[in-house]
Amino acid sequence: LGAIQACKEKGAKFVGFASNQNDVAPGTVVASVYMDFGTMYKWVVERFMAGKLEPVVNEVGIAQDIFKVAYTDQVPESVRELVEQAAAAIANGELLKFLSQFPEPLD
């Protein structure tokens, strides 16, 4: 939480990650990207029960509705819309790919 404290001291804004940190420093933490573990566990169990969970690294995130955003009232609707558009582009593979999706190493 040192990064949040540093932002608070400098008057900067902070976006939390991994858990909803919006209540840690109201006014400083303006949003959080968090993992919805309930959705993740359901995703894993459903694949396991269907015999589709491969013994490899399973890359999950926005497309599986596991990474989510919690906004505070400090984030304008226009910014939320842009974030949602980017999330949709990530989910359908238009904006970002996992490194494992590249056949050759990146230089």
Closest CA to 59 of 45, 40, 83, 42: 40
pLDDT at 99 over 70: no
pLDDT reading at 96 higher than 70 = no
So what's the pLDDT on residue 26? 95
Per-residue pLDDT tens digits for 44-84 = 999 999 999 988 888 888 999 999 999 999 999 999 999 99
Sheet (strand 14-18) strand order: 14-18, 29-35, 67-71
Record the pTM.
0.76
- pLDDT digits 0-9 by tens, 18-41: 999 999 999 999 999 999 999 999
- Show the CA angle centred on residue 56, arms to residues 63 and 98, nearest 5°: 40
Q: Which of these, 7, 55, 47, lies nearest to 30 by C-alpha position? A: 7
